[in-house]
């Protein structure tokens, strides 16, 4: 060695041995983002409508949410065990819990225990795992389960207990623990669905009963019959803001979805007020807001590009409006989302991005 | 009630009849003439669609056999009896080439390759070989991630201690693994051959030695012992598979390869599968 | 280009890494490394053909003496970094994991130097003379691709060039070599830029793009920029701002056509380090034998920037930085986003080594190939506006034709997609595989 070694106290320098060197492709750094963190944040956003649902429908609603989530996670674990997939890693990604909570918030508050059980199996097995698990499912698992339950158990799925404080307008702490099973009510949408339709341009009176400023205020706050999570609009909006801030959903989806429904129902309502209630009524009733924020935006089953998301959301909005106005079912969001989910590969293809350096006209590049 | 039943029966019945007639009509006028011999040959073929014959599949091969493009013997999968049956059915010569088997010319399992590298990434041989030359120290040996096993239509390749191992009794020599291997370690050899050089590295002996305990050092011991059966090219010994007499176990014993790169297939398999801690030096 | 509004420019998409790691070494002044016992100078340090060795084992060489001569147009000369004795050709671990040939030189400690080549007055000299000097001094792109500089500066006559951009973005986390260079020797950078502008016959459209996190460097450059007729462009801190195509887009607004080169957008892009080397070659007559290298990482005891001679083994550079505090999990030549992971500490520093980075074991990414949840973060991050998730899905099912349809050949391998992927999918590796496979298939045809 030359003078270098004399100058530097060689023994004090700890040199690496290279035993633990890992060789991998670049990049060698990664963002702290993880699938489980994403799902955790979605759960956080879902806590708002869930809390509102529990507040309006009592502890029974909490029980349904708890049961559905546990069943979903259990269904996932059972499948992974049978399919010899890693159980713990799959559960810990949190996707089953998210599906469970979304499904629960789509159930009436008083359903018997077997409804969450069937729903969980439908969602996780039929909706997700048979396609290959998280990321491979073409349809939103929670929507698959909800539609399955709606068709299989129509009576249970369309019997709505009245929320606490239905008459007074605001629920109180006193009756929090009391069961609400006894009193049932109809959802504003189902009432509207049973009303006779009239194409008379000036006939509006019969919708007035359910579509007026006073009632819409009440509906918006959550004082109406409906699924656990869909009734309280402010809670859903809070959740939406959270999701957009966390960059977990594409803001175009809820905005375009809700906007399309408002425009379509608004146009129909303007020309034929006797056919359908006002757009405001459509926005605050039923599962539209919840679905637009939490179900249509599911990363796996909505298009990747911004343009694709707009097409997807507008499609959802049109189908929802058509079912609501002219269909047999009072509510159409689930069917709309399922239908548009099926079109996502096509939308993705149609809305593919223009890569950097590619002109609109495909230019022959130098060989 | 009865009218509903009646109407449905009549409607469905007549619909079925009508559609049946339509299908029958079109089947008649658009009939494609096929050579019945093609179907016959296809039936006699194994139906594995492995592509070892160079055709797109067994049906394609059957067509080429009937047209005389290929002799039946070109199918690597069928046994001699099956090929004879095809030849007899068509009244042609069985033809045929050598029956081949694949062999992975590398003995560098996880215990033999000295410089192991902690690789992190896609578990696919071709992808791994792009990153810093692959996870093992040797740049010519088996990468051990089983891209060959994944493409084998017969499940004849097993991964043992990060080394691909061909089970000769299952392998039919279709050659899919040969093209899947990014290192070109796999070679098709005559089915009768039992002795192979389990090394594929053309590097100089000492270089190889640094990376792998069981590499061929190019010492020419085998060539000196049986010059008609082994040949050393550069620093790597090769079994002369086209020689009139193939080397046998006795030859291996006579050569006493110092690193153990020259082995019988049976012994190689025994080393890899039975004794994971086996090391030639220790 | 909007020269008037000197606002912070940038390109579309891209990512913002949460941890830049630049604070480890950005305030450390560049130090000169002491002489080592031996140097292994790799032969193939340039894109294209490696140069031919012109010395024999046992020869005595002086510092700056030519040891390997360019073997064609796309090739670069190689000069001895020290005075000493040539031991001969040896195999050293190459930066790509494949052993490379290198000339081993043992210094004699006498530090004999070649006579410097005569300085050229660049303001009056013929472009051809300047170009020849650059070729003679063995200059290559010092940013990473190591394309011979004289080739880049002599575009085919049918290509019109109206813009020269110097890449001072240094968007890679951890690296500070260019930053220190611009701070400590702004005049060399500016002079090099002006020389290259003269070679290309560009009057006023010579730009140096610098990211806003190097505001001190921007100020230092601006002090002297006027005299050299160079414009300093502040750029937004965004990865990969320093990618040729993105830099051109940010500064001029032009798009380099797919599969094309910067000259197709009438631009030439050079690294700031290269510019300083050009100044050395033209004004001081010195060939390229050393470069500034950032030796950094959280496990390095004293991270900093060193002027290292080409051929210094990495382990010696780490020794200069005081060794390590714990066993590193990764050794990377270059930056953490596009650099190459090494398996040996014997890799020598070459002309394009901008950094030696040691990551702690828990710091380096662990690719797990989780399920793609189609979150679209890779699509949002891709500076080339590709869909990495779709490409990876195609590659995983060996559908390289499909990957090609998704424009995988336009991929820069910048790593933005894999960085943001929440499922930690090795997206860049998939893209590399697809590119290699498609190139092989087209070569077959």
Q: Could you read off the pLDDT of A9-64 as tens digits, one per residue?
A: 556 778 888 778 888 998 999 999 999 999 999 999 999 999 999 988 888 899 99
- Chain A contact set for C336 (CB, 8 A): 26-29
- Chain A contact set for C413 (CB, 8 A): 26
Higher-pLDDT residue of B52 and B126 is B126
B116 and B249 part of one domain: yes
Give the number of other Cβ atoms within 10 Å of residue B280's Cβ: 15
DSSP E strand stretches across C108-264: 163-168, 206-211, 231-235
Per-residue pLDDT, A172: 65
Mind listing the pLDDT tens digit for each residue in A253-312?
999 999 999 999 999 988 888 888 889 999 998 899 999 999 999 999 999 999 999 999
C418 and C324 part of one domain: no
Q: Is residue C287 part of a domain?
A: yes
Q: Does A351 contact C at CB distance below 8 Å?
A: no
Last residue of a domain, which of C364, C390, C413? C364
Residues 203-242 of chain B whose Cβ lies under 8 A from any Cβ of chain C: 207
Residue B248 structural domain = 100-274
C246 and C292 part of one domain: yes
Q: Is residue C354 part of a domain?
A: yes
Q: Is residue C153 part of a domain?
A: yes
Number of structural domains in chain C: 2
C417 and C318 part of one domain: no
B173 and B223 part of one domain: yes
Last residue of a domain, which of B72, B90, B108? B90
Q: What is the mean pLDDT of residues B177-200?
A: 88
Residues 341-360 of chain C whose Cβ lies under 8 A from any Cβ of chain B: 341-343
C400 and C259 part of one domain: no
Q: Which of C99, C334, C341 to mutate to test binding with chain B, by most B CBs within 10 Å of its CB?
A: C341
What is the rounded average pLDDT for all residues in chain B?
A: 83
C392 and C249 part of one domain: no
B132 and B216 part of one domain: yes
B150 and B238 part of one domain: yes
Tokens of C219: 């100020």
CATH code where residue B263 lies:
3.30.70.20
Mind listing the pLDDT tens digit for each residue in A155-209?
888 888 888 776 666 666 666 655 555 567 778 888 887 777 777 766 666 777 7
Q: Is residue B281 part of a domain?
A: no
CB-based contacts of C17, cutoff 8 Å, min separation 6: A29, A31, C173, C239, C337, C419
The conformational region for residue C10 under phi > 0 = left, psi -120 to 50 = alpha, else beta, is: beta
Last residue of a domain, which of C364, C390, C417? C364
Q: What is the mean pLDDT of residues A241-247?
A: 94
Q: Is the pLDDT of residue A240 over 90?
A: yes
- In this complex, the residue of C91, C367, C432 whose CB is nearest that of residue B130 is C432
What's the pTM value of the predicted model, to 2 decimals? 0.87
Q: Is the pLDDT of residue B169 over 90?
A: no
Per-residue pLDDT, C393: 93
B110 and B198 part of one domain: yes
C23 and C129 part of one domain: yes
B268 and B171 part of one domain: yes
- Chain A contact set for B119 (CB, 8 A): 22-24
- In this complex, the residue of A3, A16, A134 whose CB is nearest that of residue C324 is A16
3-state secondary structure of C32: strand
B63 and B126 part of one domain: no
Q: Is the pLDDT of residue A2 over 70?
A: no
Q: Is residue C103 part of a domain?
A: no
Per-residue pLDDT, A108: 92
Q: Is residue C360 part of a domain?
A: yes
C186 and C307 part of one domain: yes
Q: Does C424 contact A at CB distance below 8 Å?
A: yes
C428 and C294 part of one domain: no
CA A148 to chain CA centroid, nearest Å = 16
Number of structural domains in chain B: 2
Per-residue pLDDT, A205: 62
DSSP string, C181-202: HHHH-HHHHHHHHHHHHHHHT-
Q: Does C340 contact B at CB distance below 8 Å?
A: yes
Q: Is residue B16 part of a domain?
A: no
Q: Which of A23, A26, A27, A30 to mutate to test binding with chain B, by most B CBs within 10 Å of its CB?
A: A23
Instruction: Say whether C429 and B121 touch across the interface (CB within 8 A).
Output: yes
Residue C25 structural domain = 1-34+118-364
C360 and C384 part of one domain: no
Label residue B98 by pLDDT band (50, 70, 90).
low
B70 and B51 part of one domain: yes
Last residue of a domain, which of C338, C364, C390? C364
Per-residue pLDDT, C429: 94
Q: Is residue C47 part of a domain?
A: no
Give the number of other Cβ atoms within 10 Å of residue A313's Cβ: 27
C245 and C342 part of one domain: yes
Per-residue pLDDT, A202: 66
C187 and C227 part of one domain: yes
Label residue B279 by pLDDT band (50, 70, 90).
very low
- Chain A contact set for C422 (CB, 8 A): 31, 33-35, 37-38
Label residue A215 by pLDDT band (50, 70, 90).
confident
Mind listing the pLDDT tens digit for each residue in B204-231?
888 888 788 888 888 888 888 888 888 8
Instruction: Say whether B117 and A21 touch across the interface (CB within 8 A).
Output: yes
- Chain B contact set for C340 (CB, 8 A): 132
Instruction: Say whether B119 and A22 touch across the interface (CB within 8 A).
Output: yes
CA A122 to chain CA centroid, nearest Å = 16
B253 and B157 part of one domain: yes
Q: Is residue C249 part of a domain?
A: yes
Give the number of other Cβ atoms within 10 Å of residue C2's Cβ: 10
Series of mean pLDDT values for 10-residue runs along chain C (445 residues):
57 88 91 91 90 92 93 91 92 84 91 89 90 93 87 90 93 94 94 93 90 93 91 92 92 90 92 94 93 94 94 93 91 92 90 93 88 92 93 92 93 94 94 92 82
Q: Is residue C46 part of a domain?
A: no
Per-residue pLDDT, B34: 74
Mind listing the pLDDT tens digit for each residue in A64-108?
999 999 999 999 999 999 999 999 989 999 999 999 999 999 999
B163 and B229 part of one domain: yes
What are the extents of the domains in chain A? Answer: 35-157, 193-346
Q: Does A21 contact C at CB distance below 8 Å?
A: yes
B264 and B137 part of one domain: yes
Q: Does A199 contact B at CB distance below 8 Å?
A: no
Per-residue pLDDT, A366: 41
Per-residue pLDDT, A4: 43
**Among C368, C372, A30, CA closest to B121:** C368
Per-residue pLDDT, A173: 64
C353 and C204 part of one domain: yes
CA C380 to CA A306: how far, in whole Å?
10
Q: Is residue B179 part of a domain?
A: yes
């Amino acid at each position: 060695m030359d003078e270098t070694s004399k100058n530097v106290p060689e023994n004090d320098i700890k040199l690496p041995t290279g035993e633990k060197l890992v060789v991998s492709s670049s990049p060698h750094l990664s963002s702290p983002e993880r699938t489980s963190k994403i799902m955790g944040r979605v759960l956080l956003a879902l806590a708002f409508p869930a809390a509102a649902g529990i507040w309006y429908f009592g502890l029974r609603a909490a029980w349904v949410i708890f049961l559905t989530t546990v069943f979903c996670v259990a269904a996932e674990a059972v499948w992974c065990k049978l399919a010899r997939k890693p159980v713990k890693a799959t559960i810990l990604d949190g996707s089953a819990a998210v599906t469970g909570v979304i499904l629960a918030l789509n159930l009436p508050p008083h359903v018997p225990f077997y409804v969450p059980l069937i729903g969980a199996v439908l969602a996780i097995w039929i909706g997700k795992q048979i396609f290959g698990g998280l990321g491979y499912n073409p349809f939103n698992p929670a929507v698959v389960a909800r539609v399955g339950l709606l068709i299989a158990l129509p009576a249970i799925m369309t019997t709505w207990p009245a929320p606490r404080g239905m008459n007074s307008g605001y629920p109180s702490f006193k009756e929090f623990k009391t069961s609400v099973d006894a009193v049932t009510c109809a959802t504003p949408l189902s009432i509207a669905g049973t009303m006779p339709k009239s194409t008379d341009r000036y006939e509006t009176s019969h919708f007035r009963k359910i579509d007026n400023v006073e009632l819409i205020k009440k509906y918006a706050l959550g004082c109406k019959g409906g699924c656990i999570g869909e009734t309280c609009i402010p809670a859903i909006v809070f959740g939406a803001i959270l999701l957009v801030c966390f960059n977990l959903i594409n803001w175009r989806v809820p905005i375009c979805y809700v906007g399309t429904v408002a425009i379509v129902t608004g146009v129909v309502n303007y020309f034929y007020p006797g056919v359908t209630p006002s757009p405001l009524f459509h926005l605050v009733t039923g599962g539209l807001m919840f679905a637009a924020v939490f179900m249509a935006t599911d990363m796996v089953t909505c298009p990747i590009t911004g343009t694709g998301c707009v097409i997807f959301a507008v499609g959802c909005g049109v189908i929802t409006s058509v079912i609501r106005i002219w269909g047999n079912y009072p509510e159409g969001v689930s069917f709309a989302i399922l239908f548009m989910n099926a079109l996502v590969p096509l939308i993705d293809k149609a809305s593919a991005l223009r890569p950097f350096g590619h002109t609109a006209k495909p230019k022959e590049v130098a060989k | 009630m009865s009218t509903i039943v009646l109407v449905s029966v009549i409607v469905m019945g007549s619909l079925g009849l009508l559609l049946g007639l339509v299908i029958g009509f079109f089947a008649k006028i658009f009939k494609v003439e096929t050579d019945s011999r093609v179907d016959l040959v296809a039936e006699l073929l194994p139906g594995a669609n492995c592509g070892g014959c160079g055709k797109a599949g067994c049906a394609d091969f059957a067509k080429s056999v009937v047209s005389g493009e290929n002799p039946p013997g070109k199918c690597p999968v069928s046994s001699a009896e099956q090929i004879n049956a095809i030849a007899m059915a068509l009244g042609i010569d069985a033809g045929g080439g050598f029956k081949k088997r694949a062999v992975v010319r590398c003995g560098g399992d996880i215990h033999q390759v000295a410089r192991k590298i902690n690789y992190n990434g896609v578990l696919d041989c071709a992808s791994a070989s792009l990153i810093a030359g692959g996870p093992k120290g040797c740049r010519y040996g088996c990468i051990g991630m089983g891209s060959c096993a994944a493409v084998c239509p017969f499940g004849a390749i097993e991964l043992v201690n990060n080394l691909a191992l061909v089970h000769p009794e299952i392998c039919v020599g279709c050659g899919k693994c040969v093209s899947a291997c990014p290192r070109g370690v796999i070679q098709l050899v005559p089915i009768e051959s039992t002795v192979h050089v389990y090394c594929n590295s053309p590097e100089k002996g000492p270089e190889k030695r640094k990376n792998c305990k069981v590499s061929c050092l190019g010492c020419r011991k085998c060539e000196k012992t049986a010059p008609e059966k082994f040949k050393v090219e550069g620093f790597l010994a090769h079994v002369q598979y086209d020689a009139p007499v193939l080397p046998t176990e006795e030859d291996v014993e006579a050569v006493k390869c110092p690193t153990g790169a020259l082995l019988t297939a049976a012994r190689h398999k025994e080393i890899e599968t039975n004794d994971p801690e086996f090391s030639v030096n220790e | 280009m909007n020269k008037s509004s000197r606002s912070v420019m940038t390109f579309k998409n891209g990512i913002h890494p949460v941890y830049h790691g630049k604070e480890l070494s950005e305030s450390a002044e560049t130090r000169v490394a002491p002489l080592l016992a031996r140097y292994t100078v790799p032969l193939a340090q340039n894109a294209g053909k490696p140069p031919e060795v012109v010395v024999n084992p046992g020869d005595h060489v002086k510092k700056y003496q030519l040891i390997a001569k360019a073997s064609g147009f796309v090739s670069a000369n190689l000069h001895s970094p020290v005075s000493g004795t040539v031991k001969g050709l040896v195999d050293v671990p190459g930066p790509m994991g494949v052993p490379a040939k290198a000339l081993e030189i043992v210094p004699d400690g006498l530090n004999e130097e070649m006579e410097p080549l005569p300085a050229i007055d660049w303001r009056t000299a013929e472009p051809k003379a300047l170009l020849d000097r650059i070729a003679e001094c063995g200059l290559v792109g010092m940013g990473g691709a190591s394309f011979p500089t004289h080739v880049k500066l002599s575009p085919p006559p049918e290509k019109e060039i109206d813009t020269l951009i110097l890449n001072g973005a240094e968007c890679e986390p951890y690296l500070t070599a260019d930053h220190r260079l611009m701070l400590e020797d702004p005049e060399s950078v500016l002079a090099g830029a002006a020389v290259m502008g003269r070679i290309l016959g560009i009057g006023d459209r010579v730009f140096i793009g610098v990211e806003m996190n190097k505001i001190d460097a921007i100020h230092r450059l601006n002090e002297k920029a006027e005299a050299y007729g160079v414009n300093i462009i502040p750029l937004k801190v965004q990865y990969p701002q320093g990618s040729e195509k993105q830099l051109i887009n940010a500064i001029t607004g032009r798009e380099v056509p797919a599969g094309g080169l910067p000259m197709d957008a009438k631009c030439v892009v050079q690294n700031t380090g290269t510019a300083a080397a050009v100044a050395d070659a033209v004004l001081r007559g010195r060939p390229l034998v050393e470069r500034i290298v950032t030796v950094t990482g959280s496990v390095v005891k004293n991270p900093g920037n060193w002027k290292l001679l080409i051929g210094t083994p990495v382990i010696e550079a780490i020794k200069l930085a005081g060794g390590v505090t714990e066993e590193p999990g990764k050794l990377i030549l270059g930056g953490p986003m596009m650099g190459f992971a090494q398996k040996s500490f014997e890799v020598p520093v070459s002309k394009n080594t901008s950094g030696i980075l040691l990551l702690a074991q828990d710091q380096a990414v662990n690719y797990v190939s989780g399920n793609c949840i189609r979150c679209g973060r890779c699509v949002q991050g891709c500076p080339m506006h590709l869909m990495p998730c779709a490409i990876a899905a195609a590659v995983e099912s060996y559908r390289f034709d499909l990957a090609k349809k998704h424009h995988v050949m336009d991929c820069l391998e910048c790593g933005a997609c894999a960085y943001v992927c929440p499922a930690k999918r090795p997206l860049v590796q998939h893209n590399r595989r697809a590119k290699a496979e498609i190139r092989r298939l087209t070569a077959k045809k």
